[in-house]
């Protein structure tokens, strides 16, 4: 699958323009997904120097992306007559999801087990496991 991943608030805590602290298990999960054969695309509002810092931060932790802010590494407006700012991804991992960002263990389960978030939640409720990461409100940042 092609998986688009946000940076601020998803891989690291939201402290833009600074790079926040890693959200637990984010880079480990991304490395596992890449090892499983998925193509990871970093999709972030960052650009220029701030984008370079985010990519470097991920690379230093062993997370290499197939592409950054585009569908494939070579994509340019000149060589893609179907160019669109919207990525053609199978899955999006973003802290702005409806319902918030699940923990990275749950994200891995959704993708590797090919189950919906609802199915995972129902199973977890039956077994008494919590898979929802609490999210701070905007005024708590």
- 13-17, 102-106, 133-137: which has the minimum mean pLDDT? 133-137
Q: Is the pLDDT of residue 103 over 60?
A: yes
- Closest Cα partner for 131 from 106, 108, 112, 109? 106
Instruction: State the angle between helix axes of 104-112 and 26-35 in degrees (0 to 180), rounded to the nearest 10.
Output: 20
Structure token digits, residue 2:
């092609």
pTM confidence score = 0.81
Which fold does the domain 2-140 belong to in CATH? Rossmann fold (3.40.50)
Domain boundaries, the chain: 2-140
Q: Is residue 119 very low, low, confident or very high in pLDDT (cuts 50, 70, 90)?
A: very high
| Contact (CB, 8 A) for 13 and 20 | yes
User: DSSP of 12-72, one letter per residue?
Assistant: B-S-TTS--PBPTTHHHHHHHHHHTTPEEEE--S--HHHHHHHHHHHHHTT---SEESSSS
| Contact (CB, 8 A) for 29 and 101 | no
Q: Is residue 28 very low, low, confident or very high in pLDDT (cuts 50, 70, 90)?
A: very high
- Whole-number pLDDT of residue 81: 55
Q: Is the pLDDT of residue 120 over 80?
A: yes
- Reported as a single tens digit per residue, the pLDDT across 56-90 is 999 999 999 999 998 877 666 565 555 566 788 99
């Amino acid at each position: 699958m092609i998986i688009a991943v946000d940076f601020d608030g998803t891989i690291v805590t939201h402290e833009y323009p600074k790079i926040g602290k890693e959200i637990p298990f984010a880079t480990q999960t991304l490395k596992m997904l890449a090892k499983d054969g998925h193509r990871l695309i970093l999709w972030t509002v960052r650009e220029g120097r701030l984008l370079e810092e985010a990519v470097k931060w991920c690379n230093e932790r062993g997370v290499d992306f197939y592409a950054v802010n585009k569908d494939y590494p070579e994509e340019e407006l000149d060589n893609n007559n179907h160019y669109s700012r919207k990525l053609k991804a199978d899955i999006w991992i973003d802290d702005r999801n409806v319902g918030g960002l699940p923990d990275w263990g749950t994200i891995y389960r959704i993708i590797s087990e090919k189950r919906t978030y609802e199915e995972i939640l129902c199973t977890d409720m039956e077994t008494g496991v919590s898979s929802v990461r609490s999210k701070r409100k905007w005024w708590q940042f």
